[in-house]
Amino acid sequence: MRVEYNSDQIVAIETTVKHFEHWRATTERGQRRMSEELRTMAIDLSQKIGVHRASKALGLNCTDLKRWGAKGEATNTGKFTEITLLPSTDFSCRVEITKNDTHINLSLENCSMEQVVTLIKGVL
């Protein structure tokens, strides 16, 4: 299966691969300790093209790359709006969820808070 990348993805791949090639060329195999900057670049690339494709392009272990990304998500700060409603109150709202490169926008009408929470937990 052939994958087509957009120009931003191509630039990200080429730039990140060059940084990793330089790192590998300038460090001894047994002495390699990846900098936080390289890890961040790998995580960013995996969010643009996917973990498996990024790990293959960079010559990294896919499981390690997933783990680094998961640690990054834990420190990710997002905007949250706290709302307090009685459990039986029906309301209408707009829910916007962003995870990695996936964006979901929902308009909900006449639903309970429990339904919204269940929906969001199912998506995340």
Please list the residues that pair with 124 across neighbouring strands: none
Do 44 and 71 fall within a single domain? yes
**Cα 93 to Cα 15: distance, rounded to the nearest angstrom:** 41
Which residues of the chain are modeled with pLDDT < 50? 73-78, 85
Do 66 and 11 fall within a single domain? yes
Residue 104 forms part of a structural domain: yes
Do 96 and 56 fall within a single domain? no
Do 12 and 61 fall within a single domain? yes
Do 71 and 12 fall within a single domain? yes
How many folded domains does the chain comprise? Answer: 2
pTM score of the predicted model? 0.54
Residue 85's nearest CA partner among 116, 57, 58 is 116
What are the φ/ψ torsions at residue 7 (nearest 5 degrees)?
-60, -35
Please list the residues that pair with 93 across neighbouring strands: 108
Q: What is the pLDDT of residue 15?
A: 92
Do 22 and 61 fall within a single domain? yes
Do 51 and 109 fall within a single domain? no
Q: What is the pLDDT of residue 16?
A: 93
Residue 47's nearest CA partner among 35, 61, 65 is 65
State which residues form the domain around 99: 91-123
Tell me the per-residue pLDDT of 76-103, one tens digit each, with 9 for 90 and over: 444 555 555 455 556 677 777 776 667 7
Both tokens assigned to 21: 């090639």
